Amino acid sequence: MEIEQIYLLRSVIDNAPYPMGVYVGDDFTIELANKSMIATYGKGNDVIGKSYRKLLPELNDQQIFDQIERVRSTGIPFHAKDQRVDLVIDGVRKVHYFNYSFTPIYTPEGAIYGVMNTGMDVTDLNNARQKVIEGEDKLKMAIDNANLGTYEINFSDNFIRTSGKFNEIWKVSPPITNDHLISKIHPDDLIVRQKALEAGEIVGKMDYEVRIIHDDGSIRWLRINAIYLTDDYDNRVGLYGTVQDITEERDFSRQLLQQVKERTEDLHRSNDNLRQFAHVISHDMKEPLRKIEFFNSRMRDEVLSGSTEGLRYSEKIAKSATRMNMLIDGVLTYSKHNKAFYKIETVDLNDVLNSVTSDLELTILEKNANITSDELPAVQGALILLNQLFYNLIANSLKFSRPGIPPDICITHKFQYLEDENKVVLSFRDNGVGFDQKHAARIFEPFTRLHSQDEYDGTGLGLSLCQKIATRHHGNIRAHGIPGEGSLIEVSLPLNQSVIEV
């Protein structure tokens, strides 16, 4: 090349804002290189006149020398974009990315004089692009793992671009229209969507939950989010959003609320029980204690005076102690059945009746009672609780019998076939003292007695416990009475239980 041409080329290269160099000869001698290219080599400033091959031996296995050789032999320029190039700088091999070119330089005679190398270090740009790609991959993974469907609406043509998960959730397939999606929303929830759209116009984003109805009639709850997309002039040009099926989440939330409601009701019942227990402790249990204290004092005086009247007082003390023991047992039984859970099993009510009449055999004989029953069915329930139910009801009829009249207790049943479940109604009818119907609800309250302690002994917990047992079996209990003629207790129980314990 002529001197003027070389001078002009050197001037262009030296003043170029990006790396430039010229390699000549078979050894790719570095004839020209500006400061940017020298800095890119990373081998110090003394590089002019040195072999490019020997200066950067780490390029041997990266095909760069082959690329330069092809340009020298063919005269065809080579261009690379975002090409990885590993350079050893300060003894450390580092990864770089370049946009670079190898271009032939010709003499006036048309012969190839050398190869000009231009380049631009795009490592930072490439790393940033890679992070964006990784971020998008992570976002896609997060969206997939969260079972989110995505969609994008272009306002210019109203085209809706959706993901596969979106189509799966909505049970739709492209092409998808906005009208089709709206038609699937539950009519009662259209107002929810409308309000969300109106709020979105103001704040630039939407978040709402609606039900959709599929073609098979099934209903699913969806949570829909969206943000407005804008152009450089802040004009809204589209929507981007996600959709998630939250049916199971809604069901769980509803079940949780139901459990909270049930636990709250249990807490209220427990508080009521505490108040009732406080009453029995402060009143009912105080009565036999007062009698024990009174008759013990009288007995002591009689013993000191040498009288035999102390024996009668001793009997009264024993009776009061028995009464107090009965109250304590009743409270413990009531409390135990309030807390424990029992496994559901199929229970033959005939076996239950036979077991109870066997336990009450002495009382039945003493009162010359007559107990009859039709063939009772089997129900699903807790054996120990159903046994307690029968025991309390029959023992109640035996206790509240009319003086001089043998108790006549008749147990019958009938079935109720309802739309959602089948029930059996058990009737316990007796010819005892009966009660005024105005007290029909009150007799199921704990510690309630319609008769004085002197007339009929008891704790006032029997029928209350029966009501608790019926309720725990998802049934109910009612009482009917006529004073002086007898009473009828009706217990309604489901034949089958939907739970495994009560």
Residue in this structure with the two tokens 């002591």, named with its chain if needed: 300
CB 316 within 8 A of CB 295: yes
Bridge partners for 51 per DSSP = 29
Q: Is residue 80 part of a domain?
A: yes
Report d(CA 184, CA 182) in Å as an integer: 5
Averaged pLDDT for residues 34-41 = 91
Nearest residue to 371 (alpha-carbon basis) of 424, 407, 413, 425 = 407
Averaged pLDDT for residues 460-466 = 77
Claim to verify: residue 376 and residue 444 sit in the same structural domain: yes
Over 90: is that where the pLDDT of 6 sits?
no
Please report how the helices 310-339 and 247-279 are oriented relative to each other, as an axis angle in degrees rounded to 10: 170
Claim to verify: residue 400 and residue 436 sit in the same structural domain: yes
Three-state secondary-structure class, residue 486: strand
Report d(CA 67, CA 101) in Å as an integer: 10
CB 295 within 8 A of CB 317: yes
Which pLDDT belongs to residue 266?
73
Range of the domain at 164: 146-245
Claim to verify: residue 492 and residue 429 sit in the same structural domain: yes
pTM above 0.75, yes or no: no
Last residue of a domain, one of 339, 369, 404: 339
The pLDDT confidence band at residue 24, using thresholds 50, 70 and 90, is very high
Claim to verify: residue 333 and residue 345 sit in the same structural domain: no
Q: Is residue 310 part of a domain?
A: yes
Report d(CA 155, CA 357) in Å as an integer: 82
CB 465 within 8 A of CB 447: no
Which position has the higher pLDDT, 147 or 145?
Answer: 147
300-348 pLDDT, tens digit each = 766 667 666 666 667 766 666 665 665 565 555 555 555 556 788 999 9
82-112 pLDDT, tens digit each = 999 999 988 889 999 999 999 999 888 889 9
Q: Is residue 452 part of a domain?
A: yes
Residue in this structure with the two tokens 């209990």, named with its chain if needed: 477
Separation of first and last alpha carbons in the chain = 103
Q: Is residue 275 part of a domain?
A: no
Averaged pLDDT for residues 401-405 = 90
Which pLDDT belongs to residue 465?
82
CATH number of the CATH domain containing 365:
3.30.565.10
Claim to verify: residue 316 and residue 360 sit in the same structural domain: no
Which position has the higher pLDDT, 37 or 384?
Answer: 37
CB 376 within 8 A of CB 426: yes
Report d(CA 447, CA 461) in Å as an integer: 5
Over 50: is that where the pLDDT of 213 sits?
yes
Claim to verify: residue 52 and residue 7 sit in the same structural domain: yes
Q: Is residue 265 part of a domain?
A: no
Claim to verify: residue 371 and residue 460 sit in the same structural domain: yes
Claim to verify: residue 330 and residue 405 sit in the same structural domain: no
Report d(CA 87, CA 275) in Å as an integer: 85
The pLDDT confidence band at residue 207, using thresholds 50, 70 and 90, is very high
Which position has the higher pLDDT, 496 or 441?
Answer: 496
Residue in this structure with the two tokens 């007799």, named with its chain if needed: 443
Q: Is residue 277 part of a domain?
A: no
Claim to verify: residue 483 and residue 359 sit in the same structural domain: yes
Report d(CA 190, CA 312) in Å as an integer: 83
The pLDDT confidence band at residue 294, using thresholds 50, 70 and 90, is confident
Report d(CA 270, CA 288) in Å as an integer: 26
Averaged pLDDT for residues 417-429 = 91
Q: What are phi and psi of 421, to 5 degrees?
A: -165, 165
| Percent of the chain residues topping a pLDDT of 70 | 80
Which pLDDT belongs to residue 400?
85
Claim to verify: residue 72 and residue 158 sit in the same structural domain: no
| Average pLDDT along the chain | 83
Q: Tell me the CA distances in angstroms from 115 to 98, 118, 348, one per residue in order.
A: 18, 10, 103
The pLDDT confidence band at residue 452, using thresholds 50, 70 and 90, is very low
Report d(CA 372, CA 354) in Å as an integer: 11
Claim to verify: residue 13 and residue 109 sit in the same structural domain: yes
227-256 pLDDT, tens digit each = 998 888 888 888 998 999 999 888 888 888
CB 115 within 8 A of CB 103: yes
- Of the CA atoms within 13 Å of residue 276, those in its CB half-sphere come to 20
Nearest residue to 61 (alpha-carbon basis) of 38, 30, 84 = 84
For 57, counting Cβ atoms within 10 Å of its Cβ (0-12 exposed, 13-18 middle, 19+ buried), the class is exposed
Averaged pLDDT for residues 43-54 = 92
The pLDDT confidence band at residue 502, using thresholds 50, 70 and 90, is low
Q: Is residue 270 part of a domain?
A: no
Q: Please count the structural domains in the chain.
A: 4
Claim to verify: residue 407 and residue 486 sit in the same structural domain: yes
Check residue 205 and give left, alpha or beta (phi > 0: left; psi -120 to 50: alpha).
Answer: beta
CATH number of the CATH domain containing 196:
3.30.450.20
471-491 pLDDT, tens digit each = 889 999 999 988 889 999 999
Which pLDDT belongs to residue 283?
46
The pLDDT confidence band at residue 75, using thresholds 50, 70 and 90, is very high
Which pLDDT belongs to residue 50?
94
Q: Tell me the CA distances in angstroms from 489 to 241, 352, 411, 459, 494, one per residue in order.
A: 62, 17, 10, 19, 17
Q: Is residue 21 part of a domain?
A: yes
Averaged pLDDT for residues 433-454 = 69
